[in-house]
Every structure is written in C-alpha cells, then in structure tokens.
Structure 1
C-alpha cells in the first residue's frame, strides 16, 4: 500500500472519507470514491448516491467528448480550407 500526501488549501474544509480518511475537495468526488474504493462497505443509500453521481459524471464526459470531437473536426476542415486557398494561389 502506498501513502499519499495531501494538501488542502487554507480556508477550505475537505470532505473526508469515513473509511480511509482521504480528503476530497468536492462531495461528488467523495461519493464516487466511496463507490469505486469501498463498494462492499456501503449502505443502500450510499450505493444509490454513487450510481446517481456516476451517471451525472458519465453524461458530462459524453458531452465533453462530443465537444472535443466537434472542435477537432472544425480545426481539420479549417486547416484544409486554408491550405486549399493558399495552395491554389
């Protein structure tokens, strides 16, 4: 097992895992950590909260991927048109 040093910014109170003591900046991160690292120890409410947070995280990731793909397509065709215009003249 490895130990990790954590740094919490001054003035912020972290959300601390009750099972292992790891701090998290956002409560959502703590809920996801619970489901991924301590799934066997969770109550039904904690499991339901994990699945809700996981679904939200998955949806946000899908939107990010779609936006990134759109930007890459625009860049590709933008450079293609610029090359076609400069290459012709």
Structure 2
C-alpha cells in the first residue's frame, strides 16, 4: 500500500491493481481506473467504469437540482421578507 495515504486499519479498502492507491468504495476505484489507467483496462473494468460514471453523473445532476431549488427558496424567501418591511 502507498505510504502517502492514511487508511484506518478497520476500514474496508479497495486498492487499485495498477498503482496501489486505496479507495473507500469500489465505485471510486472504478472511476479512478477509468480516468487514470484507461488504456490498461479489460472489458469488465471498462464496463465497471461506465456504470460508476453514469451513477456519478446522476448524483451530480440531482445535487444541482437540489442546489437550484434551495437558491430559489432563499431568493423568494428574502423577497417576501423585503416586501413585508
């Protein structure tokens, strides 16, 4: 294991087979492999990367929608407070 990363001994570790970097989740390892070691991947690892990338894109999209909704609520809340003063 690489000495640059401090991983608790009780935590599950998913280590990259190409560089030895530890990850907390398999999805993070799949994303790392696809981005850093794309030319070395076999078909199964490419499929894992695509699935992880798709899942990550969905999560980011949902976060953006929630952030936009929060901004709209804050904006209109402040607008209503200003209108009542």
Structure 2 CA distance, aligned partners of 1:39 and 1:65? 28
**1:51 is matched with which residue?**
50
Gaps of 5+ in 2: none
Matches within 5 A, 1:5-84: 5-84=4-83
C-alpha RMSD of the superposition: 1.4
Deviation at 1:15, TM superposition (A): 0.6
Gaps of 5+ in 1: none
Deviation at 1:84, TM superposition (A): 0.9
**Misfit runs of 4+, over 3 Å:** none
Deviation at 1:61, TM superposition (A): 0.5
TM-score (norm. length: structure 1): 0.89
Structure 1 CA distance, aligned partners of 2:77 and 2:54? 35
Larger Rg: 1
